[in-house]
Amino acid sequence: MVVKKSQPKVEAKEKSVDELIAGPASIPQVEAPEPQPVFRPILTNRPAFRKNYSINRRPVMRPVPHPGKFNGYVDNRIIPDADLPTEEVTGMLEMLPEGHGLLRPDFSPSTRDIYISSSQIKRFGLRPGDVVTGPARQPKENERYWGLLKVEKINGREFTENYQRPIFDKLTPIFPNEKLNLEHEPKKIATRVIDLVAPIGKGQRGLIVSPPKAGKTTVLKDIAEGIAANHPKVILMAVLVGERPEEVTDIRRAVKGEVAASNFDEPAVRQTQVAELALERAKRLVEMGSDVVILLDSITRLARAYNLAIPTSGRTLSGGFDPVALYPPKRFFGAARNFEEFAVDGKKVKGSLTILGTALVDTGSRMDELIYEEFKGTGNMELHLSRKLAERRIFPSIDIKRSGTRQEQLLFKEGEYEKIVTMRRMIDVLDENEATEVMLERIYKTKSNDEFLKNLGK
């Protein structure tokens, strides 16, 4: 039996009439405590942070530079831009599609490229290929390149507000009328033969047509040696596209000038960029009144690189070549020209750009044949190398009957051109291979071309 305990009886408190009338408003409310001030440290020397997202969508905290006062890190400390370590730099300007540019120490990208803003490019009227000198600061924590602080020199000259220079494309081209003499040693037969059968003038657009293993690289080196020996003021540039690394080293040691080279294992875009930057550099030198000679090896590989680098147009020529890819190498080759006198900063000067490019034939490729056919009529000088002569180990293997220069009478002296015409008529009656052999034999017996021409009728 469960006994229930009785609960104590609680008497209900009777409410007054005032409480019943007032309702909930009369119930006392609990007062909230007063808010206490929160003390946070003021970090005046630390930048604000913003949230960015990386490739894997994880938030990455990056510093937001304070405007005006603090802009970078050095040794984990924030210091003003003026206190950043600086260094005097010199580089060649390459423009990027975004509007800014990079100053490259060489024709190829490197870890010491200098960033130059678009505002500096517009203010100083800089063009691709300009050599710019000025102080640069080291990169900040979230930057990749050094930054140029000030432009002090452009192409070796102090910048002035009234400095004016012409535009390359607006200059007046004329026929080459000043000869580049290549003969410098009696035993250098290649340069002596070229002076006689296919003379090169300032502003010449020459094509060296060669089958494989015919000695075109040796001919280019001999031409470079002849120009350097007889014309020291002429600026030499060798542009090697898709070349073997050992050949690049050989050319660097042989050519007394600038060498812009890209190896065959580099992307096609890089090969075209090196060639374009070298051409722009040559144009800037011509605008200053210099005579520049570009030795291009080869125009065939340059066209092949553009065929891979340029987006396809949907049309295809024989050999799988896109017709749109023919325009950039033609623009490169067509830049060679001789100019009338023009003014640079108030002074009358003359300038010229000579381009000698090699074209490959007899390679078994329809594409190479197409490239040669497209460029065959664009030059005003052609030097043909013979496979048959090369197989017989007759060097230089120059096909004398097929080689020649347009308007060559402008390059020879008075009385010299008539002797050249006589030599041509004598060679014309001989066979192709026999003509070269006979001429080389006579050249070997003389010490100079003048002596050869004097003994021509004997």
- How far apart CA 258 and CA 224 sit, in angstroms, is 11
Helix or strand (DSSP H, E) at 193: helix 189-197
As its CATH architecture, domain 73-163 has: Beta Barrel (2.40)
CA 246, 249, 253, 254: dihedral to nearest 10 degrees?
A: 50
Contact 223, 355 (CB under 8 A): no
pLDDT bin (cut points 50, 70, 90) of residue 64 is very low
Domain chopping of the chain, boundaries? 73-163, 173-455
Alpha-carbon gap, residue 1 to 11, rounded angstroms: 30
Confidence of residue 51 (pLDDT cuts 50, 70, 90): very low
Instruction: Quote the DSSP letter at residue 83.
Output: G
- Higher-confidence position of 156 and 42: 156
3-state secondary structure (DSSP) of residue 217? helix
> What is d(CA 411, CA 371) in angstroms, rounded to the nearest whole number?
29
Highest mean pLDDT: which range of 22-26, 197-201, 314-318, 375-379:
197-201
DSSP reduced 3-state for 234: coil
Lowest mean per-residue pLDDT among 117-126, 278-287, 337-346, 408-417: 337-346
Which of 141-150, 156-165, 372-381, 441-450 comes out lowest in average pLDDT? 156-165
pLDDT at 61 over 50: no
**Would the pLDDT of 99 be above 70?**
yes
Alpha-helix runs per DSSP H in 288-342: 299-309, 327-334
* CA–CA separation, 297 and 365 (whole Å): 18
Give the model's confidence band at 131: pLDDT under 50 very low, under 70 low, under 90 confident, else very high: very high
Instruction: Say if CB 248 and CB 282 are below 8 A apart.
Output: no
| pLDDT bracket for residue 24 (50, 70, 90) | low
φ, ψ for residue 174 (rounded to 5)? -135, 170
Give residue-wise pLDDT tens across range 399-418.
Answer: 998 999 999 999 998 888 99
Q: How many CB atoms lie within 10 A of CB 234?
A: 17
> Which residues in 70-117 belong to E strands, given as ranges?
72-74, 77-79, 86-95, 101-104, 114-116
Q: What is the mean pLDDT of the chain?
A: 82
Same fold, 73-163 and 173-455: no
Q: Which helix (H) or strand (E) holds 191?
A: helix 189-197
The answer regarding whether domain 173-455 maps to CATH 1.10.3720.10 reads no
Q: Confidence band (pLDDT; 50, 70, 90) for 20?
A: low
What is the token pair recorded at 228?
């350097």
